[in-house]
Amino acid sequence: MVTDFYSLPLVTQKGEPLDETLEKVVETIQFSIFCFTLPFYILITYFMLDALHRGVEELSTPFFRLCIATAFIDIWTLLNNYLGAMFPKWGWATRAYLFLDGYYAHAYLYFAWSSGES
């Protein structure tokens, strides 16, 4: 029986787990979808907020208020994922991330943990 965590056998990985070309294709498709859906999502959220403020009775129910709240959380999660993880991975805005140093990493992780990203 192993009693110490550090005495566990080291697991080694043989080869690349995923082809880099496939990974690049999937990330490009996902980013394309993100670029299309994010402005559309923001626009729909704006219209829902506008209808709420104008007092449209059908859109003033608790259900639609919950939809608006979750829309903001979804938008924040999408932005946090790309600004915090994907852009640094791709090497975009390297100077900005180097300038922010550890603050960026801490902020990204706090928001990722609180928004349910995994």
Encode pLDDT of 40-77 as tens digits. 999 999 999 999 899 888 888 899 899 999 999 899 88
Domain interval for residue 66: 20-115
Q: Is residue 1 part of a domain?
A: no
Tokens describing residue 74: 């979804």
* 112 Cβ contact partners less than 8 Å away, ≥ 6 residues apart: 80, 81, 84, 85
Q: Is residue 5 part of a domain?
A: no
Contact 111, 80 (CB under 8 A): yes
Q: Is residue 8 part of a domain?
A: no
Contact 88, 97 (CB under 8 A): yes
Confidence of residue 88 (pLDDT cuts 50, 70, 90): confident
* Span of 16-25, 32-41, 73-82 with lowest mean pLDDT: 16-25
Domain count, the chain: 1
Q: Is residue 81 part of a domain?
A: yes
